[in-house]
Amino acid sequence: MAGRAAGSSNSSVIMDKAAYVLVSACRNEENFIAGLIDTIAAQTVRPARWVIVDDGSTDGTHERAVRHAAGLPFVEIVRMPGGRPRSFASQVYAAQHGAGLVAAVGAPFIGFLDADIRLPAYYYERLLERFAGDERLGLAGGIVVDQYPDRQENIRRGSEHHHVAGGVQCFRRECFEQIGGYVVIDGGGQDTIADVMAMMHGWRICSFADLPAIHLRPEGFTRDGVWLRGMKWGRKFYLIGYDPVFYFGQCLRRAGRRPLILGSLCQAIGYVAAAARRERRPVSGEFVKFLRASQRRRLMGTLGLRGRADSTLAASPAKPTGCGLAV
């Protein structure tokens, strides 16, 4: 759902070359980094500064980035010390390092962009217009479109009102500072935590369906096998605090995706295994309560029980909203 049309004062902010900054944390992205630089160089509104953080690459990522970014003065390429194992935690550390480097610009918006994402040239111009049209929009991005190399169809991934994919998240600076940036979590999920934290602080979040972000390395195309990857995902959503009924419902809904049934089953087992071990969550009890209240409201709305859900949760503090709609 688009925000209100921007007025003249907002338009001047949008066209200000210092309106936004970008951070891209990458490791061993030699095959993708040049295309990423091309996609930002082609933007109708370029960032004031873009820091590409090479998180200990062992291939030619750094060298290719330096060559391809030559002549683009807004691009800075920095190197993190190597030796750390590749993980979501190391990616978050790299992203936070980049965020610190661009903070001095004082831009009102900060975006995070993965190396395997490709964007239309109008992407950031239109995204900034949405921010300008809604002062309570704190976190936004486009809908990620997984592009599978062996299939004709693509899969659109994301929820317009409830989640902004981590590979394309863009924050209003006040929102990003208020939530304290990204939470470091080994198994991933920092993007979901950022979504919920933003809503807990009264910000709206939105993934705009008319802003496609092409994902060249779709979910499922990783080194991990189906079993290990599914177990990791289930554990991740347990640690984030997902409501079990809501999560198992999601597993059922995704059972028709590749790999058929098996992927969802592995995720469910991973969730149950983490719960049985009573693994410690990196988020507060208040966070879990807020997230689960939101998810139960969504679930009951799907089942046609929205009125009952709203009355049941009426006493809950500060209902989260997304794109102007209660979630």
What domains can you pick out in the chain, each with its CATH number?
9-215 (3.90.550.10), 222-307 (no CATH)
- Are the C-beta atoms of 76 and 102 separated by less than 8 Å? no
Q: How many CB atoms are closer than 10 A to CB 118?
A: 18
pLDDT at 315: 36
**Cα angle 312-315-317, degrees, rounded to a multiple of 5:** 125
Structure tokens at 1: 């759902």
C-alpha–C-alpha distance, residues 287 and 190, integer Å: 13
Q: In the chain, which stretches have pLDDT less than 50?
A: 1-9, 11, 13, 15, 17, 152, 221, 308-322, 324-327
pLDDT at 324: 40
Check: CB of residue 207 under 8 Å from CB of residue 156. Answer: no
Judging by DSSP bridges, how do beta strands 20-26 and 170-172 pair with one another? unpaired
- Where helices occur in the chain by DSSP H, the ranges are 8-15, 33-41, 61-68, 88-102, 123-132, 173-178, 190-200, 226-240, 244-253, 262-277, 285-302, 306-312
Query: Going by C-beta distance under 8 Å and a sequence separation of 6 or more, which residues neighbour residue 269?
Result: 230, 231, 234
Q: Please report the pLDDT score of residue 319 as a whole number.
A: 38
What does 226-292 look like in DSSP terms, one character per residue? Answer: HHHHHHHHHHHHHHHT--HHHHHHHHHHGGGSSSTTHHHHHHHHHHHHHHHHTPPPSS-HHHHHHHH
- Return the ∠ at Cα 155 (arms to 116 and 145), rounded to 5°: 35
- pTM to 2 decimals? 0.84
pLDDT score, position 253: 84
d(C-alpha 126, C-alpha 121), whole Å: 10
Rounded to whole angstroms, how far apart are CA atoms 295 and 192? 13
How do beta strands 49-54 and 75-79 pair? parallel
Q: Which residues is 145 bridged to in the sheet?
A: 156, 214
Say if residue 9 is exposed, middle or buried (CB neighbours under 10 Å; 0-12, 13-18, 19+).
exposed
Beta bridge partners of 137: 204
- Residue listed under structure tokens 């217009």: 129
